Chain A
Amino acid sequence: MNDRSSWPLWEVFLRSRRGLSHQHVGSLHAPDWEMAVQNARDLYTRRGEGVSIWVVESAAIHASDPDDRGPLFDPPADKVYRHPTFYKVPEDLKL
């Protein structure tokens, strides 16, 4: 059964309509990118869910470590001055 496992895994991204960005919808196996696009069409757009498909080999994606969640994302939490609500302005002004 090596034939099947040697088809790499692809991540599928769909643009649901023009004006929106592509979003991850799932994954599939295919021997090359062209078949991956064909399969994604059959698998993820049977009801007109997309107007554009991206496929990316899963192995090409590098991700942050979930265990680093704290240290990696903490710094913004104490920079409250990045949010508009940090600032006091006269209430009767439109600002």
Chain B
Amino acid sequence: MADAAADPREAAFQAAIDAERSVEPRDWMPERYRATLIRQIAQHAHSEIIGMQPEGNWITRAPSLRRKAILLAKVQDEAGHGLYLYSAAETLGVSRSELVEMLQSGRQKYSSIFNYPTLTWADVGTIGWLVDGAAITNQLALTKTSYGPYARAMVRICREESFHQRQGFELLSQLSHGTPAQRAMAQDSVDRWWWPSLMMFGPPDDSSPNSAQSMKWKIKRVSNDELRQRFVDMTVPQARALGLGLPDPQLRWNENSEHYEFGPINWDEFAQVLKGDGPCNAERIRVRREADAGGAWVREAARAWAVKHKPRSAEDAA
């Protein structure tokens, strides 16, 4: 805060933010604004990239050609979302290779939800319905974030995400209205993913250290707890339509607040998974590193080809 007083540009920056003016890449910005955005956008990009793994796990075992085509398209979208976001982060002056390196060395995080395993086919449906549902709730709020390139990536991503959530709902609906075994598989899946989905919105507002400054800079527009509440309010009627229960005995409608109340979240589990002790942390990074190393010769070959065929001068090109 001492710097804020020292640098008059910081006051002008805040005034522009308060006047709802988007920040664009070549504008002056406080270093902490830049660093916060790099961290947040990178973490978001890494989540999309790592998020391909739990679902990719089921591509070869999808029960029909229709489901396989849908899942392939969805996983391809996640790759695309990761790339939009990496591009947005790069406008802040960080390079792609630095970003990839920070993911693979564990210096930057990704959403802890992807450290849970996809044990059954129903998990593909639950991820679409709950995990993408939570992601959309969060991302819709981010379409109005103050940094232009990030907001634009979010608009594009939100447009594509709604198919993800709907295919998940439809998949689960087929299972929950299917045989008793299919129904049990769907319920087991929702039981496992419900609480981790609520954790996706991050720690409660009173223990979220970076939130206040992010709200002031309008990087964040809606608080963690408010987004979580929106998600619960939206999801409970959907669970009812699916005919599936949610694993929270304290879940109930509050007439006065006109919101659903829900039980306490196990933040110790959240902290543990975040720290690296989730069921799949090590595997996710190992697979990512292998994919990167395995693709190195392709990137090198493409680069060598480009160098060899690069027009040396205007005459060569003609």
Q: Which of B28, B80, B296 sits near A43, CB closer than 8 Å?
A: B80
B24 contacts partner chain A, Cβ-Cβ < 8 Å: yes
**Chain B positions within 8 Å of A32 at CB level:** 302, 305-306, 309-310
Question: Does residue B27 face the partner (Cβ distance < 8 Å to A)?
Answer: yes
Cβ of B189 under 8 Å from chain A: no
- Assess whether A56 is interfacial by the CB under 8 Å rule: no
Q: State whether A31 and B306 are in contact (beta carbons under 8 Å apart), knowing that A3-B296, A46-B80, A66-B27 are contacts in the complex.
A: yes
B300 at the interface (CB under 8 A from A): yes
CB distance B26 to A65 under 8 Å? yes
Tell me the complex Cα distance, A32–B101, Å: 23
Which residues of the other chain, B, contact A46 by a CB distance below 8 angstroms? 73, 76-77, 80, 160
Q: What is the CA–CA distance of A65 and B27 in the complex, to the nearest angstrom?
A: 9
Which A residues between 22 and 50 are near B, CB-CB below 8 angstroms? Answer: 26-29, 31-32, 35, 42-43, 46-47
Count of B interface residues, CB-CB < 8 Å: 30
How far is it, in angstroms, between the C-alpha of A47 and the C-alpha of B302 when the chains are bound? 27
Complex partner residue of A5 from B77, B97, B156, CB under 8 angstroms: B97
Contacts of A47 in B (CB 8 A): 160
- Measured between C-beta atoms, what is the minimum distance from B158 to chain A in Å? 13
List B contacts of A59 (CB < 8 A): none
Number of contacts between A and B (CB, 8 Å)? 60
Compute how far the CA of A26 lies from the CA of B100 in the bound complex, rounded to whole angstroms: 19
Task: Check: B95 CB closer than 8 A to any chain A CB.
Answer: yes
Look across to chain B and name the residue whose beta carbon is closest to the beta carbon of A5: B97
Contact of A4 among B27, B97, B156 (CB under 8 A): B97
Q: Does A1 contact B (CB under 8 A)?
A: yes
Interface residues on A, range: 20 to 34
Chain A, Cβ-Cβ closest to B23? A66
Complex contact A7–B303 (CB within 8 A): yes
Give chain A nearest CB distance to B291 CB in angstroms: 13
Q: Is B83 an interface residue (CB 8 A)?
A: yes
Interface contact B24-A66, CB-CB below 8 Å: yes
**A72 to chain B: closest CB distance in Å?**
13
Distance from B58 Cβ to chain A, minimum over Cβ atoms (Å) = 21
| B260 contact set on A, CB distance < 8 A | none
Determine if B26 and A66 form an interchain contact, defined as CB atoms under 8 angstroms apart: yes
CA distance A65 to B100 in the complex (A): 30
A66 to B83, CA, bound (A): 26
Q: Shortest CB–CB separation between residue A70 and chain B, in angstroms?
A: 12
Let me know if B90 is at the binding interface, CB within 8 A.
Answer: yes
Q: How far is the CA of A57 from the CA of B273 in the complex (A)?
A: 41
Q: Among B73, B84, B310, point to the contact of A26 (Cβ < 8 A).
A: B84
C-alpha spacing A26/B309, complex, angstroms: 26
Once A5-B95, A6-B303, A31-B305 are accepted as A-B contacts, the answer to whether A67 and B83 lie under 8 Å apart by CB is no
Whole-angstrom distance between the Cβ of A53 and the nearest chain B Cβ: 15
Which residue of A1, A26, A35 is within 8 Å of B302 (Cβ)?
Answer: A35
Q: List 24 A-B contacts (CB under 8 A).
A: A1-B97, A1-B100, A3-B299, A3-B303, A4-B96, A4-B97, A4-B299, A26-B87, A26-B156, A28-B87, A31-B299, A31-B302, A32-B302, A35-B306, A42-B80, A43-B80, A43-B83, A43-B84, A46-B73, A46-B77, A46-B80, A46-B160, A66-B26, A66-B28
